[in-house]
Each structure stands twice: as C-alpha cells, then as structure tokens.
Amino acid sequence: MARVRTSQKACSVDPLKSSAPLGAALAFLGVEESVPLFHGAQGCTSFALVLAVRHFKEAIPIQTTALDEVSTILGGAHNLEEALINLKRRMNPKVIGIASTALVETRGEDLRGELKSIVSRRSELQGTTVVFASTPDFDGAIEDGWAKATAALIDSLTSGHRYATNERRPSVINVLPGVHETPADIEELRSIIESFGLEALIVPDVSSSLDGHVPDSYVPTSLGGARIADIARMGASAHTIAIGEHMRSPAQALESRTGVASTVLPKIMGLQPVDELVALLARISGHPAPSRLRRERSRLVDALLDCHLAVNGKRIAIGADPDRLMALIPVIESLGGDVVVAISSTDRVLDGILARGEQVTVGDLSDLEDSARLARAELLVTHSHGRRAAQRLGIPLLRVGFPIFDRVGAQHRRSVGYTGTREWICELANVFLAEVHEPTPSRPVDVKPRCKDEGHGRELS
C-alpha cells in the first residue's frame, strides 16, 4: 500500500490539476441544450474556456457573470440575475448550469438563497431549469467539480419518485461516468452494456455533445447530451453503475433520492476490472457474456503478452488525477513496468493505490519533473502541460488526461473495456519501441542514452 505525502512547497509552481469549475462545466455540457455559467470574473471563465477549446478543438459555450471590482466587494447577485435573463433571451437553453468560483465563494455570498430568489420572481426563466454547483477553485480539482455538478443535476432533474418493483424498467441501467472517461470511452461502455441486451442511461453524457461532430445548423447550447426526460426517470432503472471513486457521492445521492441500488467500480481499465464489469452486467441482465466480449478479452490477453516484452523493467513517472492514477498504475505494473514516481493532483482516495514506489505525492508538475529526474525515469505519463518537463528530462511523453492540446483526437481515444485497454497498452509499448538504440563501443545497445543538457531533450509521443 502506497504512503501519501503532500508537497510542502508554499505554492504550485507548475500546476498539474485543472479547476473544479471546469469539471462542473464539462458535466453540464453532458445534458441536452445546456449552457454552463461561471459565477465569477471574466478571467476565471476565459482560462477554463481556453483549455476546453484547445482540448476538444470545438466551440464550447461556457458563459460568465463577469464580476468586476465593485460587484466582487458588494455582491454579485445583480450580475447573476442579468446573466440568467440574457442567456434565456438569447440562447433559450433547457438547462443553465451555474458553477461558482473562488471569487464569490471566498466572499461568502448566499448563492443558493440569491438564486432561489431570482428564479422565483423572474417569470422569464420559466421553461429553463437552473442548476447550481458549489465549485470553488481552492477546493479539489476537475474530478470534484464533475462529481458535484453531477450530484446537482440529479438533485434538480430527477423526479425523486420511488418506483415500486413492478414499475421499474429492468433493462435500463443508470451509468455515472467519471470525468476521466472520454466521449469514445463512454461510447465503448455503452456498447458493452448494450451487448447484454440492456439500455444505458448515461449522465452526464458527453459522448454525443463533445465527440467532435458538425451539426446541420448553428446550435448555441450543448450539441447533445442526456435528455432531461430520461434523467427524470432515473429512479425507474434497475441499477446504477458509477465509474471512479469521485462518482461515489453522486451514486449515493441518486440511491438516496430514488432507491435504485448502485455499484461503484473504481476503474474499468485492465483485465480484472473489466471482468468485474462484465460479471456485474451478466448478473443484472441474466445473460452470459456475449461471444464478442469473449473474443475481445482474448485479444487483450494476447496484447498483454506482446506489450510485456517492451514495457517490462521500464521506469515510469506518472502525474494525474486520483482516479486516473488508480487506473493506470495497475495496468503498467501488470506489464512489468516500474512506476517509480506517482504524483496526484489531490489527496482523495489515494489510499487505494497500489504502487511499487514507496509513496504517492500530492503535488504539481515541478514535483513530477524533479522526482522523475532523481528516479531516472524513462517515460513521463501526464497531460500536455508536461511536455516541457519531458523535453528537459530528455525522455518521451505519453499524453493522458486533461488537457491534451498539442495532439488531435483526444476525445476519440479509448482506454476502457477490453478494447480500450488493449489500445492504450499498445500505445504505451510503442513509445518504448520507437526509441532508437544505436550501440557504440562506450555504450552497449541495451543502455538507454540520457540527455545531460536539459535544454536539448527530445519528445516522441
């Protein structure tokens, strides 16, 4: 069991984590005809908007209440009200998802009370559901914001009606994916569930809103997502499956509100975790695993054997959010890789991480770089902001997580299920196979060259 250590630096030098409001915005975009609204200054919104646009390469409709110096001091209720009315008039969304920022949370405004007052006296907002999630930047990271927004959507959009057993829809399964699932991951998860004759009701569902498609006409709101009518009937489903520990709280909230039993799967990447998912679906549906999944499992087993030859003994440094870290480390170690450095963005659920290294550090990218240098890591695994560190270290970078802005197709990458796991481990193995090993009299072929000049490193993947 890994020990958790927190970096003792006075500030974050090179941030690893993305903010909670951004995670909330992505969750709100997983609902049909929705608009995320940041309650804060323009800069708070601009920073998150730029990251989302660069990652997805799409137009992202994140709006802001644009607090200035005066409203920051005296209160931003007027800005919030004006923003809601403007969005209703110009975009007419079905859902407006409000994510608070540190600016208003630090002041201690009664945001829920102000919002309740605005909605009750402004008849113009009828027909639009306003959802509020408290997501100050100083509390948690992108996973926490996604989870809080999902819980807020459940609280606001589900009917809360407790259906009798004979009223339930036995073939419908609620799915609460984590923010670390890409649109392609969610599509793969839906395909696995449907192969058992079940229907997946996914909330939030970014597989139809952030999957990178071109609409027939201009749409000012989200381009897809879970339908509100379906969310309202989540209480009639047979079961709820939540992916990732950060989705445990929304799953428990849904179970408490509707009575639908839930199961939290910490990860669905790797042979054993996917086997557990398949066994759960077989139990719920009453059907054995279909032949397609059995074939995909066999392919994964073969890929694990193939990739083991390339990854075995390699020293790898990882920087990621907790649930992604929990998914990646066991997969790498199953290939014989040595995770010599593990840096997490937050300290939540880290006790469940098994690593060969002695500890997991809660820190930033500078901690990742320094630790990787000391540990003589041969590969850096983190998001695109780690590319400079990889260059200085003179080792390859395998991009995972959010954001990935210097490569295209991030939303189409899969890492879940038998197929997604196989694709990811092949990508990992190919990074090492792409390394050129040229023997010289002073350097045997099996010794990896290291760059002594930190300013002239190389970056491969």
The 10s digit of each residue's pLDDT in 182-236 is: 999 999 999 999 999 999 999 999 999 999 999 888 899 999 999 999 999 999 9
Same domain for 309 and 435, yes or no, is yes
Tens of pLDDT along 225-275? 999 999 999 999 999 999 999 999 999 999 999 999 999 999 999 999 999
Residues 255 and 313 reside in one and the same domain: no
- 377 and 236 fall within a common domain: no
Give the CATH number, domain containing residue 60: 3.40.50.1980
pLDDT for the residue numbered 457: 43
Helical H segments across 335-409, by residue range: 365-374, 387-393
Note whether 272 and 183 are same-domain residues: yes
State both tokens at 104: 């208003």
- On the question of pLDDT at 14 being above 50, the answer is yes
Handedness of CA 9, 320, 347, 338 (dihedral sign): negative
**Residue pair 204/226 in contact by the 8 Å Cβ criterion:** yes
Whole domain around residue 416: which residue ranges? 294-456
Same-domain pairing of 255 and 346: no
Q: Which of 290, 307, 324 is the last residue of a domain?
A: 290
Copy the structure tokens of residue 317: 């440094």
12 domain residue, yes or no: no
For residues 424 and 345, membership in a common domain is answered with yes
Q: How confident is the model at residue 355 (pLDDT cuts 50, 70, 90)?
A: very low
Tell me: do 440 and 317 sit in the same domain.
Answer: yes
Instruction: Report whether pLDDT(71) > 50.
Output: yes
Q: Are residues 218 and 253 in the same domain?
A: yes
What would the mean pLDDT of 49-60 be, rounded to a whole number? 94
pLDDT-derived band at 75, boundaries 50, 70, 90 = confident
Same domain, residue pair 450 and 320: yes
Based on the structure, what is the number of domains in the chain?
3
Greatest C-alpha distance within the chain = 82
Q: Same domain, yes or no, for 321 and 263?
A: no
Same domain, 444 and 373: yes
6 within a domain of the structure (yes/no): no
Q: Closest Cα to residue 188, out of 291, 58, 260, 278?
A: 278
